[in-house]
Chain A
Amino acid sequence: MPWTSRPRRCPVLGDGALEQLKREGRIVVVGASLAGLRAAETLRAKGFVGSLTMIGDEPYEPYDRPPLSKGVLLGRARAHRTALPRLRSVDATWRLGVPATGLDMAARRVRLADGDDVPYDRLLIATGVRARPWPRPEEAELDGVFVLRTRDEGAALARRLDEGPKRVLVIGGGFAGSEVASACRERGLPVTVAERGAAPLVGALGGVVAAVAAGLHREHGVDLRCGVMVTALEGDASGRVRAAHLSDGSTVETDVVVVSLGALRNTEWLNGSGLGAGPRGIACDAGCRAFDIRGIVTDDIYAAGDVARCPHPLFGYQFLSLEHWGNAVAQAGIAAHNMLSESIDRLPHMDVPAFWSSQFGVNVKSVGVPSMATDILISQGSLDSRRFVGVYGYQGRVIGAVSFDHGRWLPFYKELIERTAPFPPQFPTVDRHTDGQQPMDADFPDPSVPSHGPTVTLSGYSPADRRMTFTPAH
Chain B
Amino acid sequence: MSIAVDLNRCQGYAQCAFLAPEIFTMHGDEALLYDPDPDEAQREKLAQAAAACPVQAILVDAVDKPAEAVPGAR
A86 contacts B65, C-beta separation under 8 Å: yes
Bound-state Cα–Cα, A62 to B4, Å: 12
Chain A 357-371 against B: per-residue CB contact (8 Å), 1 yes, 0 no? 010111101000000
Interface residue ranges of A127-164 to B (CB < 8 Å): none
Q: Besides the contacts A326-B6, A360-B28, what 11 more A-B pairs have beta carbons closer than 8 Å?
A: A59-B72, A61-B65, A66-B7, A71-B34, A76-B33, A82-B36, A85-B59, A86-B2, A96-B74, A325-B8, A405-B28
B44 at the interface (CB under 8 A from A): no
If A61-B69, A86-B2, A358-B27 touch, whether A407 touches B74 (CB-CB below 8 Å) is no
Interface residue ranges of A87-139 to B (CB < 8 Å): 87-97
B62 contacts which chain A residues (CB < 8 A)?
A: 85-88
A90 contacts which chain B residues (CB < 8 A)?
A: 66
A84 at the interface (CB under 8 A from B): yes
Bound-state Cα–Cα, A70 to B62, Å: 25
B68 at the interface (CB under 8 A from A): yes
If A89-B66, A363-B12 touch, whether A60 touches B31 (CB-CB below 8 Å) is no
Interface residue ranges of A42-82 to B (CB < 8 Å): 54, 59-62, 64, 66-67, 70-71, 74, 76-78, 81-82
Bound-state Cα–Cα, A303 to B9, Å: 24
Min distance, Cβ B24 to any Cβ of chain A, angstroms: 11
B60 contacts which chain A residues (CB < 8 A)?
A: 85
If A83-B65, A325-B8 touch, whether A405 touches B29 (CB-CB below 8 Å) is yes
A408 at the interface (CB under 8 A from B): yes
A64 contacts which chain B residues (CB < 8 A)?
A: 4, 36
B56 at the interface (CB under 8 A from A): no
B7 contacts which chain A residues (CB < 8 A)?
A: 66, 325, 356
A81 contacts B36, C-beta separation under 8 Å: yes
B71 is contacted by which of A60, A356, A360, A405 (Cβ under 8 Å)?
Answer: A60
> How many of A's residues come within 8 Å of B, CB to CB?
47
Bound-state Cα–Cα, A134 to B8, Å: 31
Q: Chain B CB within 10 Å — which of A54, A86, A92, A365 has the most?
A: A86
Interface residue ranges of B7-48 to A (CB < 8 Å): 7-8, 10-12, 25, 27-37
> How many of B's residues come within 8 Å of A, CB to CB?
36
A358 contacts B31, C-beta separation under 8 Å: yes
B8 is contacted by which of A74, A92, A354 (Cβ under 8 Å)?
Answer: A354
Q: From DSSP, what is the main secondary structure of chain B's interface residues?
A: loop
Bound-state Cα–Cα, A70 to B27, Å: 11
A408 is contacted by which of B4, B12, B25, B36 (Cβ under 8 Å)?
Answer: B12
A84 contacts B37, C-beta separation under 8 Å: no
A407 is contacted by which of B11, B35, B69 (Cβ under 8 Å)?
Answer: B11
A394 at the interface (CB under 8 A from B): no
A361 contacts B31, C-beta separation under 8 Å: yes
Min distance, Cβ A241 to any Cβ of chain B, angstroms: 30
B32 contacts which chain A residues (CB < 8 A)?
A: 358
A361 contacts B27, C-beta separation under 8 Å: yes
B34 contacts which chain A residues (CB < 8 A)?
A: 67, 71, 77
Interface residue ranges of B48-74 to A (CB < 8 Å): 59-66, 68-74
Give the 10 A-B residue pairs with the shortest CB-CB distance, closest first.
A361-B28, A358-B31, A81-B37, A363-B30, A363-B31, A85-B2, A61-B69, A356-B7, A354-B8, A85-B61
If A64-B4, A326-B6 touch, whether A93 touches B37 (CB-CB below 8 Å) is no
Bound-state Cα–Cα, A354 to B32, Å: 17
A59 is contacted by which of B6, B65, B66, B71 (Cβ under 8 Å)?
Answer: B71
B29 contacts A363, C-beta separation under 8 Å: yes
B8 contacts which chain A residues (CB < 8 A)?
A: 325-326, 354-356, 365
